[in-house]
Structure 1
Amino acid sequence: MGPTYQMTLVEQYELAENVVGFRFSLPDKNFQFIAGQFISLQIPWQQRILKRSYSIASTPVLAQHQGLLEISVALVEGGRASQYLTNMQPGDQLEMAGPYGRLILPEQPPKRIVLVGTGTGIAPYRAMLPELRQLAQQAYQIDVVMGIRTPVHLFYHQEFTELAAEFSNVHYWVCFSREISDQLFVDGEYLHLNDCYNQKKGYVQTLLPELKLNSEETIVFLCGNPAMIDEAATQLQVKEGFSVKQVRREKYVLSTN
């Protein structure tokens, strides 16, 4: 295990139904990571330490310039880690190790970048937003695909819609697995979803064939639900001709232990 850091909770805030955002301050600005990586929280629980991994949802610039780091946490019924975190108060400290992971953008990506995330699996792509904006300016085609159950589970929505609105070569998709709506209540006002992004009823893996991906010029990122990742990766490799290196994966495994 790499070096550990003592983080201090600055605030926690609701992102969506059963999803909470946490902002921590770092002890110094020497903590460096690459957008897409994750950290391991060392959570004290009944005389033992629970280790839980969370993708960093904030940009490296925020850590370097302001000494701050953000994560998003899905609340799990009976989940010890989420229970401990939501009981924390501003000023409380927590030990963290990392960063870890290879879910990062390559230095020279292919022409098309597809970022698929379910639930809090969208978090690492939020950390990539400055890099995605730079790539969009260079005419790369970017697809961000978020999979959630219903509109009340949608978060980081505004930031991705703004990116898609700014660049015609950026497309933002949301797949609702259980319920779809023609409007969403965000920040005190109703937004008509069809004006903001592309929406689809079903799981994210059912959208992939519609994107008409060319395996020779595309890299795909998969983050979140393990079943989605396994099914999507198999689909891409068997039916679309993608190699293992062209499909980068980060599985989120829920634990109540």
Structure 2
Amino acid sequence: MAEELPSYKTELISIENLEKDYYEIKIKKPSDMNWVAGQYMRLGLPTKEVTEKKKLRALSFASLPEDDVILLGTRTGKEISNFKQNLLTVQPGEEVEVKGPLGQFTLPEDENQTLVFFAGGVGVTPIRALLEKLAKDKSERTIKFVYSSLDYYFYKEDFAEFKKSLPNAEFIFVRDENDVDRELTKLTNELANDALYYVSSSEKIVEAVSQSLQDKGIDTENIKHDILYGY
């Protein structure tokens, strides 16, 4: 029998429409809740009438526990789900439910392991937390971060700040499939299986990028996935 997830009642701090259908959500961190960079949670809306079968939605932590705020990023997509419609009506101070943490999209124990991060769109949220953790630790390991988006880059200003504390990090912002393939080809030629590869995006993109990495000679055990199942 599966162990029940810890559940916390807390409150919304804010929801901000950053650009087009991109939203940043801030939730008050329950004092007794902790997680590890790269993990995710499930969000519930107890004050709303969500008509969809799935009453909770998985969202990755974009912040660290010591930030004292749960930072989340999401998109509504062209057709807004009933859950997202309800979410956008939640007011500051209104109750929300948080369950978790979950997931193994976390940093390796080897503090010298070279890391390659690939994010597509809003899949950047867990990678923001991973990079914040590395920056706070002033990690000297080799880090390559490829971020692909057609129209908007979440947390771009934060990444510029993190990079100041990461002397061996390279951040690469691209826009289309050809750019992604070019950068991944360069990285796999340079690093091969001496790096651990993190891939976070929609299911379709994660599958495509992971297959591309394997085609370039990367072993499956050197690839970690974080899949966003819809908006």
Q: Distance in 1 between matches of 2:184 and 2:90?
A: 39
Tell me the alpha carbon deviations over residues 98-146 of structure 1, each in whole angstroms, 9 at most, x when there is no partner.
Answer: 11111000111554211111111111121123432256x4531111111
Q: Does residue 120 in structure 1 map to residue 122 in structure 2?
A: yes
Q: Distance in 2 between matches of 1:174 and 1:10?
A: 30
**How many Å apart are 1:80 and its aligned residue?**
1.7
Q: Is the 8 A contact 2:37 2:126 kept in 1?
A: yes
Residue of structure 2 aligned with 1:58, choices 26, 51, 63: 63
Q: Distance in 2 between matches of 1:3 and 1:36?
A: 18
| Identity fraction in percent | 21
Q: What's the counterpart of residue 189 of structure 1? A: none
Q: What's the counterpart of residue 72 of structure 1? A: 73
Q: Is the 8 A contact 1:229 1:249 kept in 2?
A: yes
Q: What's the counterpart of residue 207 of structure 1? A: 183
Q: TM-score, normalised by structure 1?
A: 0.79
Q: Distance in 1 between matches of 2:52 and 2:215?
A: 47
Q: Is the 8 A contact 1:115 1:222 kept in 2?
A: yes
Q: Distance in 2 between matches of 1:147 and 1:57?
A: 17
Q: What's the counterpart of residue 176 of structure 1? A: 175
Matches within 5 A, 1:1-257: 1-26=4-29, 28-43=30-45, 44-46=49-51, 50-62=55-67, 66=68, 68-76=69-77, 77-133=79-135, 137-150=138-151, 153-177=152-176, 202=178, 204-211=180-187, 212-240=189-217, 242-254=218-230
Q: TM-score, normalised by structure 2?
A: 0.87
Q: Distance in 2 between matches of 1:209 and 1:146?
A: 15
Q: Is the 8 A contact 1:57 1:123 kept in 2?
A: yes
Q: Distance in 2 between matches of 1:138 and 1:155?
A: 22
Between the two proteins, the alignment pairs up a number of residues equal to: 223
Q: Distance in 1 between matches of 2:142 and 2:93?
A: 42
Q: Is the 8 A contact 1:16 1:155 kept in 2?
A: no
Q: What are structure 2's unaligned runs of at least 5 residues?
A: none
Q: Provide the alpha-carbon RMSD of the alignment.
A: 2.2
Q: Distance in 1 between matches of 2:211 and 2:111?
A: 22
Q: Distance in 2 between matches of 1:162 and 1:250?
A: 24
